[in-house]
Amino acid sequence: MAKKIFALLLLLSLLSPISSAQRRARISPRNAENILTEQDLYLDVQFLSDTLCQGRRTGTPGSQFAAMWIAGQFDAAGLKTFGNSRFQSFRTPAGPTGHNVLGFLPGTAVQGKRYIVIGAHFDHQGILGGALYPGADSNASGVVAMIQLARMLSYMTEIDRPFAKSVIFVAFDGKSSNMSGSTNLVGRLLEGSLRDPVTGAPITAKDVDLMVNIDQIGCDLAPLSHVWKEYIIMLSDEKSQRRVPLTSVDLEYRIGLDIGFTYYDSKDFTRLFFRKVCDQKAFLDAGIESVLFTSGITMNNNKTQDTVDTINTSLLRKRIILIYYWLRRYL
């Protein structure tokens, strides 16, 4: 009889609801990996590089269509808006109106709030001479990576706990027009006109700890060596303390990427891409520490063959996972 009672109690314990303590014990940063699939990456890059988006040239209907889609992705990730809109409009030097798309993931800090900006430009060449320039790698891949990071970080705040720092996600328009989108956002930070959606307080350049720019991150066509084709490049200030953690994260989570901290060992090209021609430039000029993640320039850049079929979705997924774990160290 005692054995039967013990067996019954054991069965009931197995069928009983899992306690909150037991559920929490199963939660880890790895949970976010489960929502990141290669199929989603392919379909999202395919959409942004499709004929519907017309190459995403600033001021065109295709660009506006892409911006609306990005806004919908931010909505689905549960990000807050700045004011009542996802969009912040600006005039480009060439004349057309550009539209940055913004989302906000609030942190828990009440006093001395700090922010991290994660950005990627979504505009491209458009249609030239009747030919579509899809811009799958440049820079649909970077936009999709940013959106997936928003989903992953937001998901972890829902199942575990919010991060201390707040995150501003922004899809920049106007990269091809003198980086006018990123310049406009930095201008808002400098003048204090960008306000925290939760507190209403101005967000200034001094409140931003780090800007992370993702520009062209989907291909394996320009590896750092002939030995290993799975790689990523992170450009930062030469004295930056952000480099060692990236390497340690890669080792800790066994991601297995070849990591470069220069642009193919060229001082001139490293300086060019980090200081002059990518969207982190405006942030650097404002004294905001910045990093750039990229997979390098390829022969498909700004050409009609920059299509979704050139994207290595397995490698793109690994790169996003690496950035995700690296970001968590600063949130």
> 13 vs 277, which has greater pLDDT?
277
Per-residue pLDDT band at 110 (split at 50, 70, 90): low
Q: Residue 151 falls within a domain, yes or no?
A: yes
Which residue(s) pair with 87 in the sheet?
A: 101
Res 29 pLDDT > 50? yes
d(CA 256, CA 322): 9
Instruction: Please return the burial class of 15, using the count of CB atoms within 10 Å of its CB with bins 0-12, 13-18 and 19+.
Output: exposed
Query: Encoding tokens for residue 37?
Result: 């699939």
Q: Residue 15 falls within a domain, yes or no?
A: no
Type and span of the H or E element at 193: none
Distances (CA, A) of 330 to 115, 237, 246, 253, 324: 10, 17, 11, 17, 10
* Average confidence (pLDDT) over 17-21: 42
* Average confidence (pLDDT) over 270-288: 97
Whether the CB-CB separation of 119 and 171 falls below 8 Å is answered with: yes
> Tens digits of per-residue pLDDT, 173-216?
999 999 999 999 999 999 999 999 999 999 999 999 999 999 99
Task: Specify the CATH number for the domain of residue 76.
Answer: 3.40.630.10
Q: Residue 262 falls within a domain, yes or no?
A: yes
pTM value?
0.91
In one letter, which amino acid is 247? Answer: T
User: Would you state the pLDDT for residue 238?
Assistant: 87
Query: Encoding tokens for residue 152?
Result: 């992953």
d(CA 262, CA 302): 22
d(CA 245, CA 239): 14
> 21 vs 149, which has greater pLDDT?
149
Q: Residue 3 falls within a domain, yes or no?
A: no
Per-residue pLDDT band at 19 (split at 50, 70, 90): very low
Expressed as residue numbers, the domain containing 288 is: 35-328
User: Would you state the pLDDT for residue 112?
Assistant: 64
* Average confidence (pLDDT) over 71-99: 95
Q: Which residues contact 200 (CB under 8 A, 6 or more apart)?
A: none
Res 41 pLDDT > 90? yes
User: Would you state the pLDDT for residue 111?
Assistant: 60
Q: Residue 22 falls within a domain, yes or no?
A: no
Cα atoms in the Cβ-side hemisphere of radius 13 Å centred on 248: 9
**What is the phi/psi pair of residue 143, to 5°?**
-65, -45
Whether the CB-CB separation of 284 and 213 falls below 8 Å is answered with: no
d(CA 140, CA 316): 12
Going by C-alpha positions, the residue among 142, 104, 117, 130 that lies closest to residue 218 is 142
Q: Residue 235 falls within a domain, yes or no?
A: yes
* Average confidence (pLDDT) over 94-122: 91
d(CA 172, CA 307): 21
d(CA 93, CA 77): 32
Res 7 pLDDT > 50? no
Judged by phi (left if over 0) then psi (alpha if -120 to 50, else beta), residue 55 lies in left
Other C-beta atoms within 10 Å of 259: how many?
16
Q: What percent of the chain has pLDDT over 90?
A: 85
Q: Residue 13 falls within a domain, yes or no?
A: no
Query: Encoding tokens for residue 323?
Result: 């950035």
Judged by phi (left if over 0) then psi (alpha if -120 to 50, else beta), residue 56 lies in left
> Tens digits of per-residue pLDDT, 233-252?
999 998 889 999 999 999 99
* Average confidence (pLDDT) over 308-326: 98
d(CA 11, CA 14): 5
Number of domains in the chain: 1
Whether the CB-CB separation of 229 and 287 falls below 8 Å is answered with: no
Res 10 pLDDT > 80? no
Q: Residue 6 falls within a domain, yes or no?
A: no
Rg (CA), the chain: 21
Going by C-alpha positions, the residue among 211, 169, 173, 154 that lies closest to residue 82 is 169
